[in-house]
């Protein structure tokens, strides 16, 4: 039996890293991607091969650039057996007033958080449609549902990702390809280092669960979605400790 294969974007740390490690532990071959944290990406790969005896390959590149995505998928094709699951996790944050955000920062947010998912889905679909099976899991945010003050661009990209998820799920259901999203609440990742210790404590008090979520909890849900009944598609699953 061929080993199943997964591509995780933004896999150098946080949620992406946790997803990569979880799938590797389950015996999957994991393609690891990130844009610039190459040393951290290599460290994730080293952990997988040395600590879990898993199988992986690093594919650095900016998934917000179509030509880079094409190169990444060319390398996946050379592996010989296509792609079973795609996790669109690459993302960046920006905190501040909309009037203080530059055009360049806006465009970077759109390309990294939203366009990257479009590019990767478009590249992955020929493999999945051919084999009449596949799973696409988009890592979204609760702010894509309710919006966040001073995170307007981030909220807009995640709202767009939710719309992409629902619409693409309908388009691909006849091909037995499921598309779902995880709308994360406050997860304990480097992205939240924008907040100081006092702000983090105050935020945790607002969450009914009383704490931030962990990347490993998100990874477990991603694993469950990859193995869920085929009838589960087009869903935005909230994972926010009861926050919204």
Q: What share of the chain is helix, strand, coil (3-state, %, to 5)?
A: 50, 15, 35
Which residues are identified as catalytic? 154
Question: Distance between CA atoms of 84 and 69, rounded to whole angstroms?
Answer: 17
Given a contact cutoff of 8 angstroms between Cβ atoms, the answer to whether 110 and 170 are in contact is no
| DSSP code at position 80 | S
- Of 72, 160, 58, nearest to 109 (Cα)? 160
Distances (CA, A) of 223 to 20, 121, 135, 139, 205: 10, 18, 11, 13, 29
Residue 61, sorted as left (phi over 0), alpha (psi -120 to 50) or beta, turns out to be left
């Amino acid at each position: 039996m061929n080993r199943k294969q997964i591509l995780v974007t933004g896999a150098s740390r946080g949620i992406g890293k946790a997803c990569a490690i979880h799938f590797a532990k389950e015996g999957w071959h994991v393609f690891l991607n990130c844009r610039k944290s190459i040393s951290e990406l290599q460290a994730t790969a080293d952990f997988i091969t040395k600590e879990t005896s898993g199988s992986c390959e690093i594919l650095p590149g900016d998934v917000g650039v179509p030509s880079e995505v094409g190169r990444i998928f060319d390398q996946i094709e050379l592996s010989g057996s296509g792609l079973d699951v795609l996790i669109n996790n690459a993302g960046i944050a920006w905190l501040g007033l909309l009037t203080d955000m530059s055009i360049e920062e806006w465009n970077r947010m759109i390309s990294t958080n939203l366009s990257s998912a479009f590019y990767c889905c478009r590249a992955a679909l020929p493999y999945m449609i051919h084999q009449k099976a596949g799973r696409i899991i988009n890592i979204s945010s609760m702010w894509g549902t309710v919006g966040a003050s001073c995170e307007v661009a981030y909220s807009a990209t995640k709202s767009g990702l939710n719309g992409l998820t629902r619409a693409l799920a309908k388009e691909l259901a006849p091909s037995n390809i499921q598309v779902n999203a995880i709308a994360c609440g406050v997860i304990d990742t480097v992205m939240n280092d924008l907040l100081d210790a006092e702000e983090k404590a105050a935020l945790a008090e607002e969450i009914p669960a009383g704490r931030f979520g962990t990347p490993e909890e998100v990874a477990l849900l991603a694993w469950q979605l990859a193995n869920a009944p085929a009838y589960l598609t087009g869903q935005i699953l909230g994972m926010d400790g009861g926050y919204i």
